[in-house]
Amino acid sequence: MIELRLYLQGEGQDAERIRDLLSREGFRLMESSEDGSEARSVVGFDADLSSGSHREPLLRRIEELERTILELRNLDVAKSQFLTNVSHELRTPLTAIVTYGEILRDGLLGEVSPRQREAIESMINSCRQLLSMIEEILTYARTNARAITLQPTPFDLEEVVGHVYEMNASLIRQKNLHYRAEVGSGLPPVWADRDKVIHVLGNLIGNAIDFTPSEGGVHVTARRAPEDPRWVQVTVSDTGIGIDPEHHEMIFQEFAQVDASRARMHHGTGLGLAIARKFVQLHGGKIWVDSELGAGSRFSFTLPSVEAQETLGAA
């Protein structure tokens, strides 16, 4: 006699479905609370696999489940492929609109009045906003469609922080924000994928600008991580609207926006932080937020320095 004992852990609804399924297949079900955790629902069962009446349905069911898993995986790849194609198709005409807008704005097809120029400029800015959202969806689809590989090199954060500032300088000026960056002297170079770090930092600084009212402050620091000095901790803090602690986990999830009014006020796909977290985790680092409603936000992430890399390499 072979005894199979299976404990299922998960949301109540899933456990319920599996319980039904197993009952239909003729298994004797036992409730168990050995785990002691109230958050999880646990279902256990014993089955005598030597008896044909249990063995056949179980094997059939396993095969079915395997097929379902394969179908779902294929569907997920197809979904990512679809997102990639749609994003590409959306981006192409938008690129044409931006280019035509710039041709008109720069007076290549005839002189434009200051008010016309202003109107064209608004059109171009809106298109660029739309394009950056499409880029974000595209990046997300790519990070899901296949494993992305890092191309790490050693580089100084100071230069990258300056680069991301330059990318956002006009927005910072427009809102008259007080921007300050402090990269600790003697900070070792990080060992990371430069493009991805720019993406993460760009996202955090972009959010800080979006969610901070005019005249507010945005502050970027980089220093050795307190819990392991061979890692570098980058922090972007702002004096903006802040985030309720109950939403701190949710904002790193795909397609999450704290509430619809915020989404309307602050454009965005809800993918930025999910992508940022993915990129940071690929480096073995972590990303988190400290914030209270109305008290500004402080986002931090860690990256390995070349010193951590040497240790990893030696291990």
Partner 1 sequence: MSEGRGGRTVLLVEDNEAIRNAFTILLEESGYRTLSAASGRAAIDTAERELPGLVILDLGLPDMNGLDVARHLRGNAATREMPILALTGRALEVDQEACMAAGCTGYLTKPIDTEQLLGVIESYLGARE
Residue numbers of the site for partner 1 (CB under 8 A)? 88, 91-96, 98-100, 102-103, 106, 108-109, 127-128, 131, 135, 138-139, 142, 148, 151, 195, 199
83/293 with CB nearer partner 1: 83
Do the bridges between strand 153-155 and strand 178-183 make them parallel or antiparallel, or are there none, so unpaired? unpaired
In the complex, the smallest distance separating the C-beta of residue 254 from partner 1, rounded to whole angstroms, is 17
In the complex, the smallest distance separating the C-beta of residue 138 from partner 1, rounded to whole angstroms, is 7
In the complex, the smallest distance separating the C-beta of residue 195 from partner 1, rounded to whole angstroms, is 5
100/179 with CB nearer partner 1: 100
Residue with tokens 């300056």: 162
141/208 with CB nearer partner 1: 141
- Calpha distance 114→198 (Å, rounded): 35
218/273 with CB nearer partner 1: 273
In the complex, the smallest distance separating the C-beta of residue 204 from partner 1, rounded to whole angstroms, is 18
45/279 with CB nearer partner 1: 279
- Calpha distance 269→263 (Å, rounded): 9
159/195 with CB nearer partner 1: 195
In the complex, the smallest distance separating the C-beta of residue 172 from partner 1, rounded to whole angstroms, is 19
In the complex, the smallest distance separating the C-beta of residue 11 from partner 1, rounded to whole angstroms, is 34
